[in-house]
A = this chain, B = another copy of it.
């Protein structure tokens, strides 16, 4: 019923995850917090969103995973591949396109 980040969240998780991982490799749990920070606390993706996105990006070849044991715990670090870079730039321009379309519609003074 009550959603945390209601509408407008369509391809957003995928875009944010790719963008942050393009900056530097990270593991899922870290990413959850990094998203919050990078979006100025505006967008909070739960683990139930982040992990599935990570897995599907890995499956599609946009990310590669590397397991690293740290202090007895295991972390799975993700790195963006060339394919992921391409996917990121596609998503980014797609985002700009939709965004500018919406801004046009929201603007537009009374005109006729």
Contacts and interface: CB of A to CB of B under 8 A. Distances in A.
Contact of A101 (B39, B97, B104): B39
Contacts of A8: 8, 10-12, 94-95, 98-99
A112 interface: yes
Chain A contact residues: helix, strand, loop or mixed: helix
Copies in the complex: 2
Interface in A39-65: 39-40, 42-43
Size class of the A contact interface (CB-based, 8 Å): 35 or more
Interface stretch (A14-22, A68-76, A77-85): A14-22
Interface of A: 5-12, 14-16, 19-20, 23-24, 35, 38-40, 42-43, 91-92, 94-95, 97-102, 104-106, 108, 110-112
4 smallest CB-CB distances across A and B, nearest first, come from A7-B11, A42-B101, A39-B101, A10-B10
